[in-house]
């Protein structure tokens, strides 16, 4: 298993075209815009070597029998799924941020299950290819980016109906030695600091969409790839100073980027689906359920930090003993533990599939994510309520350090006697960072927007069985009456 420092050094060896603010970034490890995201991902490597946490952050490979980083593991039992969510909460607590490695983790597990089903139906070799790729990932401990979301163009049209055929990533050439693909994947969490890109289709497909039903893996420095780093709320603060960032070491959201595939070659041994359109939706749903499983865990860990920050700023403000403050903190805890309970439940109810991979309970996993789209906003609202209006009007770190106005800032932002102005400002900036627009949007739309969860939950609700239960107790023999 790689160490955190080895992970950073491995990124420096990659030669990629990464752009931000109209300029090319040569080294994502040290550039101020991307460094926090690298640090957050590095924690997934660091904790795997920590004796206190190695049982959560490492696992035994079912392929090699060797100890590996859990982020490269194929779940073998509900216990693996439970350990996963406990690991994610731990990492959320340690970073207060998105540590980015979940998407590739979930992609490997989803493709593991669905590639087996494709092989059973079509006699293909996708599953053995995927197993070989997983063995490579486990051996080298590389970080994988799970790339699903396409640009989509006109959402009312299917992939093959688009005016620009490239707004969904597609196969443009099939060769004896592999395929050539073109398109883009958007909102790619951790894309700029991953070693491998694991690509999946983004929606259900029909026969005419066959060129878009493609899944594969390519190294992140493959020719033809361009990374365009996304803007985040207050991201220019990373370019100077520390306090104004709130969480200078780890940032918050996952360093999302758009990845452009301009006629990228993929050898057949790294292709896991190519034209089997009827399996596009099962792959999307399997991946989405795994990814939605995560949200009560990682967001629960981040919420633990936010609850602590809210409690601390209440002390700074001298109101920690007020009854309404305690009530608000209890509500934040209640919402957080409810999210975590859902993640645990969908994991404990997981089932081993014919592939050998263990799959979460999809109805409960979608419940986790739909709750996250609501509860996280309420947790943030309560933190704002407790913190007060200074979140929106704090002067900058430069003003705090200024020889003329600095003493005024020190004097008038002083809180209770034990809390100097800088302490109060630091915790306020942390709350601001953790409840920014970018952070909340990620909770809303990451792993799919709320409507996606509602659609999945309706499919899995088994209303016919529930109707039968009601009819039985009501004494109704058929649809016409008793």
- Least confident span in 212-221, 247-256, 260-269: 247-256
* Tens of pLDDT, residues 14-61: 999 999 999 999 999 999 999 999 999 999 999 999 999 999 999 999
Structure token digits, residue 386:
């407790």
Is 402 annotated in the active site? no
Is 98 annotated in the active site? yes
Domain map (residue ranges) of the chain: 290-472
* Tens of pLDDT, residues 267-278: 999 999 999 999
Specify the pLDDT at position 479. Answer: 63
In the CATH hierarchy, which fold is given to the domain comprising 290-472?
Butyryl-CoA Dehydrogenase, subunit A; domain 3 (1.20.140)
List 203, 342, 442, 443, catalytic entry: 442
C-alpha span between 376 and 449 (Å, rounded): 14
List 256, 276, 285, 397, catalytic entry: 256
Q: Are 230 and 266 in contact (CB under 8 A)?
A: no
List 31, 127, 187, 291, catalytic entry: 291
Q: How much of the chain exceeds pLDDT 90, in percent?
A: 94
Rounded mean pLDDT of 403-427? 96
pLDDT surpassing 90 at residue 215: yes
Mean pLDDT of the chain: 96
Is 367 annotated in the active site? no
Is 358 annotated in the active site? no
List 45, 98, 168, 277, catalytic entry: 98
C-alpha span between 173 and 143 (Å, rounded): 28
* Tens of pLDDT, residues 124-170: 999 999 999 999 999 999 999 999 999 999 999 999 999 999 999 99
C-alpha span between 432 and 331 (Å, rounded): 19
List 116, 295, 346, 373, catalytic entry: 295
Is 353 annotated in the active site? no
Identify the band that residue 66 occupies on the pLDDT scale cut at 50, 70 and 90: very high
- Environment class of residue 428 by beta-carbon count within 10 Å: exposed (0-12), middle (13-18) or buried (19+)? buried
Is 423 annotated in the active site? no
* Tens of pLDDT, residues 224-261: 999 999 998 899 999 989 999 999 999 988 899 999 99
List 124, 149, 189, 373, catalytic entry: 189
Is 144 annotated in the active site? no
Specify the pLDDT at position 1. Answer: 96
C-alpha span between 342 and 296 (Å, rounded): 7
List 7, 31, 34, 102, catalytic entry: 102
Structure token digits, residue 172:
């443009």
Radius of gyration, CA atoms only, the chain: 24
Is 298 annotated in the active site? yes
């Amino acid at each position: 298993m790689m160490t955190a420092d080895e992970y950073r050094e491995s990124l420096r060896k990659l030669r990629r075209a990464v752009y931000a603010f109209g300029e090319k970034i040569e080294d994502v490890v040290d550039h101020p815009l991307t460094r926090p995201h690298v640090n957050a991902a590095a924690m997934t490597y660091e904790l795997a070597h920590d004796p206190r946490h190695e049982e959560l952050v490492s696992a035994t490979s079912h392929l090699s029998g060797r100890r590996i980083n859990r982020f490269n593991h194929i779940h073998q039992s509900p216990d693996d799924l439970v350990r996963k969510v406990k690991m994610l909460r731990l990492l959320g607590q340690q970073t207060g941020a998105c540590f980015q490695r979940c998407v590739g983790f979930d992609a490997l597990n989803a493709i593991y299950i669905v590639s087996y089903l494709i092989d059973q139906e079509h006699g293909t070799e996708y599953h053995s290819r995927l197993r070989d790729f997983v063995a490579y990932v486990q051996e080298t401990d590389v970080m994988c980016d799970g790339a699903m979301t396409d640009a989509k163009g006109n959402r009312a049209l299917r992939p093959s109906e688009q005016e620009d055929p490239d707004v969904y990533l597609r196969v443009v050439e099939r060769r004896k030695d592999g395929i050539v693909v073109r398109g883009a994947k958007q909102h790619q969490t951790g894309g700029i600091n991953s070693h491998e890109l694991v690509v999946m289709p983004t929606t259900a497909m029909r026969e005419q969409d066959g060129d878009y039903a493609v899944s594969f893996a390519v190294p992140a420095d493959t020719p033809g790839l361009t990374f365009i780093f996304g803007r985040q709320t207050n991201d220019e603060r990373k370019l100077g100073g520390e306090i104004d960032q709130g969480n200078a070491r780890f940032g918050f959201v996952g360093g999302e980027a758009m990845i452009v595939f301009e006629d990228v070659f993929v050898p057949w041994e790294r292709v896991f689906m190519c034209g089997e359109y009827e399996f596009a939706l099962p792959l999307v749903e399997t991946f989405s359920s795994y990814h939605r499983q995560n949200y009560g865990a990682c967001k629960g860990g981040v919420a633990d930090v936010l609850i602590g920050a809210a409690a601390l700023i209440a002390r700074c403000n001298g109101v920690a003993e007020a009854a309404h403050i305690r009530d608000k903190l209890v509500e934040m805890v209640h919402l957080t533990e409810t999210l975590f309970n859902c993640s645990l439940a969908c994991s404990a109810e997981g089932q081993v599939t014919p592939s050998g991979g263990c799959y979460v309970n999809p109805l409960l996993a979608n419940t986790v994510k739909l709750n996250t789209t609501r509860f996280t906003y309420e947790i943030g609202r309560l933190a704002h309520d407790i913190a007060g209006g200074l979140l929106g009007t704090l002067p900058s770190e430069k003003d705090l350090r200024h020889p003329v106005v600095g003493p005024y800032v020190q004097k008038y932002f002083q809180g209770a006697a034990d809390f100097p102005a800088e302490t109060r400002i630091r915790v306020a900036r942390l709350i601001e960072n953790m409840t920014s627009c970018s952070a909340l949007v990620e909770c809303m739309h990451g792993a799919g927007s709320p409507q996606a969860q509602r659609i999945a939950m309706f499919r899995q609700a088994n209303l016919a069985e529930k109707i039968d239960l009601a009819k039985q107790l009501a004494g109704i023999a058929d649809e016409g009456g008793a």
